[in-house]
Amino acid sequence: MRSLLFVPGDSPKKLDKSMASGADALIVDLEDSISAANKEAARATALAFLRNAKAAKQRPRLLVRVNAIETGLIDGDLDAVMAAAPDAIMLPKAEGGASVIHLDAKLAVREAENGLPDNATGIVALATETATAMFLVGTFRNASTRLSGLTWGAEDLSADLGAQANRDTDGNFLDPYRLARSLCLAGAASAGVQPIDTVYVDFRNDAGLRRETEEARRDGFTAKMAIHPGQVAIINEVFTPTREAVAHARRVIDAFAAAPGGGVVGIDGVMYDRPHLIRAQTLLARAKDAGIKV
């Protein structure tokens, strides 16, 4: 996945339009974008959408962001949507591996109740949305085989910290949120799952989105969430390896293949060691996932 688009779970029109957005994944939202009065209706709308979308010949991955465990609403969310077998559940305000283990157990019960295969439903956790979660990022490792990605959120974290802002006047994240971003990235690497960057809320600012997405790719993120369909194309472009990058990665891999057992190879006067080989292999895997011939 390169792009994950949030869509309010109570809007049939937006849900239907999202199928043509080009996003690799849709996040059907039952949490922040849904008022308390609309929660029940959103569950029914989300269920109907998921059933129709799952039947499509070509479709994005389908995730559902449920309400946080401590709200007491998560069981109702899962009872409603698991009948449609979403590809994954996004867990907000996750506080370490214990939260994922808790959700894993809930999913196992619903899979059995709905005749779904064991472990058919993945988990993507929002890893640093609370102050407590910041101290628990390292505990996601080995928490559950369902866990496929970690992401983070600046809006809920700023509320939890009591902050007045999470970005400076130039649109750059302030220090507490840069720390949350870095911890999410390190936590994903430790757990061996996909690191997914947070949303860019200024959805009409294409230049700002591109800059932030390129910085995310530079640092090791491999996907980014979107809050508007107009953001999807830029995110997909940035996270799709260029032909030049693919060709260079292939040269690095071929050079190591030609020198079995060697720890270092030289290409055009530049030395490359094993970490470069791993990066090249990872890039080719991402290119293949994006449909590029490697």
Domain's final residue, options 221, 239, 257:
239
Verify that 269 and 181 share a domain, yes or no. no
The predicted-structure confidence for 214-262, as pLDDT tens digits, reads as follows 999 999 999 999 999 999 999 999 999 988 989 999 999 999 999 888 8
With respect to residue 175, please indicate whether it lies within any of the assigned structural domains.
Answer: yes
Verify that 215 and 247 share a domain, yes or no. no
Mark the ranges of the chain whose per-residue pLDDT is less than 50: none
Verify that 167 and 276 share a domain, yes or no. no
Percent of the chain at pLDDT exceeding 90:
91
> Would you state the pLDDT for residue 91?
98
Structural domains counted in the chain: 2
Verify that 31 and 60 share a domain, yes or no. yes
With respect to residue 210, please indicate whether it lies within any of the assigned structural domains.
Answer: yes
The predicted-structure confidence for 125-156, as pLDDT tens digits, reads as follows 999 999 999 999 999 999 999 999 999 999 99
> Would you state the pLDDT for residue 106?
98
Verify that 263 and 138 share a domain, yes or no. no
User: pTM here?
Assistant: 0.92
Verify that 40 and 141 share a domain, yes or no. yes
Verify that 232 and 273 share a domain, yes or no. no
With respect to residue 223, please indicate whether it lies within any of the assigned structural domains.
Answer: yes
Verify that 29 and 92 share a domain, yes or no. yes
- Domain harbouring 131, CATH code: 3.20.20.60
With respect to residue 294, please indicate whether it lies within any of the assigned structural domains.
Answer: no
Name the 3-class secondary structure at 231. helix
With respect to residue 258, please indicate whether it lies within any of the assigned structural domains.
Answer: yes
> Would you state the pLDDT for residue 53?
97
Verify that 62 and 198 share a domain, yes or no. yes
Verify that 172 and 135 share a domain, yes or no. yes
Structural domain containing residue 117: 3-239
Across the chain, what does the average pLDDT equal?
A: 96
> Would you state the pLDDT for residue 285?
87
Verify that 64 and 178 share a domain, yes or no. yes
